[in-house]
């Protein structure tokens, strides 16, 4: 990393302020060449903000603030400069051109964070958490990613790794004293320790899988008979018209998917075709897709028309979803009679949420019901980790190796074989944090980042 890179660290849109980042050994030289500060000393003091003018060989470009960070006390661990200019893309591009004229190249996606990783400023779990902070779609994901950026997953992995290293050291020590018949670690103690290691890996793996599921959003299917108010319900939740609303039954023929944050958790709402027994043609195709979504969804919102009452179509739907988690929503309570609502409440097995898609009545109670379901299904959601498929596969492989080591200990294999099995666990779990990572993996990880990060 002997070259110097630059890129905008803010989006290419008109805004009050834009930030341009420069990192590498020539950062200070470039800053001195293109920046003329007012009341500036002969040298830049690290972490001081200097006000002045950015220019190229022909003209003054913009009034800016410039901050110099001396290695290793920067985001990347290298000499780094950040320029705060007016957020006009024309100005930003001119400054970038002025910088690149000094033998500086444009950064690749994620290259600043990649350099931070390679310079030991963070491990891979922390680096990937940064990307999740940027792309997060819910409060939970932001909070969890922030915890991970500050080392929550790294510390958990390090704790396990230290336990394995200590067990391996004791096993290897026993190799040296095998002829003296000195017991460094007992068979029972070794089994107890490997069982504890396995339990810890299983716990982290489970919390990573919960996090992965929550990051993608919880799929919630909205089902009901035609004209029960499913599309109006969706529009009410989203607070804008996403689905076509009509008095004509069967308006929705295809699945409409929209994401919304409910109490800080990402949820994917799936508006399905109305289900009834006498559909034909394209409407039947839409209903078949509804059946498929019912099977795949984590939760079902069952919309019941309070005006029409509980019909044979509703009974048919109940038989379909009875084995799935669902929340009955009694819609149109603003225009239905109390007797009709009470009759429906007495018919369904679960306590229904009284709702009006027209007025929004019942929305807080519905959000509470959805939140309670999610937190009961994913008990550890607040203590979960954000993990991609790479991390999960490595943890699964680590678990497999740990179980193999346990088997070797159980059958009292030679210490050399046990130590080798434990080393497999160390190597694999170390790869989660990036201690052993090939360039192809790094390229895959950091290519998902935005340019300026």
Residue that has been written with the tokens 């919630």 in this structure: 220
Q: Give me the percent of the chain exceeding a pLDDT of 90.
A: 49
* Overall size of the chain counted in residues: 453
More confident residue, 310 or 21: 21
- Quick check: 253 pLDDT over 50? no
Task: Identify the three-state secondary structure at position 323.
Answer: coil
CA distance 58 to 101: 12
Which pLDDT tens digit goes with each residue over 296-313? 888 999 999 999 888 888
pLDDT interval class at 248 (50, 70, 90): very low
Q: Which of 158-167, 185-194, 251-260, 415-424 has the lowest average pLDDT?
A: 251-260
CA distance 123 to 157: 11
Sketch out the chain's domains with CATH numbers: 5-123 (3.30.1360.120), 131-213+388-434 (1.20.120.430), 217-381 (3.40.50.300)
Residue among 31, 118, 44 nearest 81 (CA): 31
More confident residue, 135 or 248: 135
**What is the dihedral sign for C-alpha 19, 24, 30, 35?**
positive
- Quick check: 289 pLDDT over 90? no
- Quick check: 254 pLDDT over 60? no
Q: C-alpha 322: how far from its chain's center? A: 32
Residue among 23, 11, 144, 7 nearest 73 (CA): 23
CA distance 24 to 31: 12
Sheet (strand 15-23) strand order: 35-37, 49-55, 60-69, 80-87, 15-23, 5-8, 105-106
The kind and range of the H/E element at 9 are: none
More confident residue, 209 or 247: 209
pLDDT interval class at 244 (50, 70, 90): very low
**What is the dihedral sign for C-alpha 260, 262, 266, 272?**
negative
Give a three-class secondary structure readout of 106-122.
Answer: ECCCCHHHHHHHHCCCC
As given in the structure block, the two tokens for residue 53 are 């003018």
CA distance 44 to 70: 10
- Quick check: 136 pLDDT over 90? no
Q: What is the DSSP letter of 386?
A: -
């Amino acid at each position: 990393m002997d070259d110097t890179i630059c890129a905008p660290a803010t989006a290419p849109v008109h805004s009050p302020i834009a930030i341009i980042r420069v990192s590498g050994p020539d950062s200070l030289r470039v800053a001195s060449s293109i920046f003329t500060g007012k009341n500036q000393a002969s040298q830049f003091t690290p972490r001081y903000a200097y006000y002045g003018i950015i220019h190229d060989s022909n003209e003054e470009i913009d009034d800016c603030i410039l901050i110099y960070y001396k290695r290793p006390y920067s985001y990347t661990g290298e000499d780094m400069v950040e320029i705060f200019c007016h957020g006009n893309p024309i100005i930003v591009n001119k400054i970038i051109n002025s910088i690149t004229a000094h033998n500086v190249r444009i950064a690749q996606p994620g290259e600043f964070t990649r350099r931070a990783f390679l310079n030991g400023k963070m491990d891979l779990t922390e680096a990937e958490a940064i990307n999740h902070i940027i792309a997060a779609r819910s409060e939970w994901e932001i909070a969890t990613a922030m915890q991970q950026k500050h080392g929550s997953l790294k510390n958990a992995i390090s704790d396990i790794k230290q336990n394995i290293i200590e067990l391996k050291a004791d096993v290897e020590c026993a190799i040296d004293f095998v002829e003296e018949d000195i017991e460094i670690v007992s068979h029972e103690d070794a089994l107890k320790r490997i069982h504890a290691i396995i339990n810890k890996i299983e716990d982290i793996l489970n919390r990573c899988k919960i996090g992965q599921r929550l990051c993608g959003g919880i799929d919630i299917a909205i089902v009901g008979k035609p004209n029960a108010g499913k599309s109006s319900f969706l529009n009410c939740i989203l607070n804008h018209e996403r689905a076509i609303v009509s008095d004509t039954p069967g308006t929705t023929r295809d699945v409409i998917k929209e994401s919304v944050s409910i109490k800080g958790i990402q949820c994917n709402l799936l508006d399905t075709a109305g289900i009834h027994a006498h559909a034909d043609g394209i409407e039947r195709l839409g209903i078949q897709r509804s059946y498929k979504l019912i099977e795949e969804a984590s939760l079902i919102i069952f919309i019941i028309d309070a005006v029409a009452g509980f019909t044979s179509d509703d009974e048919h739907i109940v038989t379909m979803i009875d084995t799935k988690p669902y929340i009955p929503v009694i819609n149109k309570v603003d225009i239905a009679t109390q007797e009709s609502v009470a009759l429906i409440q007495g018919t369904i097995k679960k306590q229904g949420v009284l709702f009006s898609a027209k007025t929004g009545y019942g929305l807080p109670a519905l959000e509470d019901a959805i939140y309670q379901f999610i937190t009961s299904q994913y008990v550890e959601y607040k203590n979960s980790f954000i993990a991609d498929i790479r991390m999960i596969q490595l943890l699964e492989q680590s678990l497999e190796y740990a179980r193999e080591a346990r088997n070797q200990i159980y059958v009292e294999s030679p210490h050399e074989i046990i130590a080798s099995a434990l080393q497999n666990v160390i190597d694999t779990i170390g790869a989660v944090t990036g201690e052993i990572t090939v360039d192809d993996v790094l390229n895959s990880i950091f290519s998902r980042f935005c340019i300026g990060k």
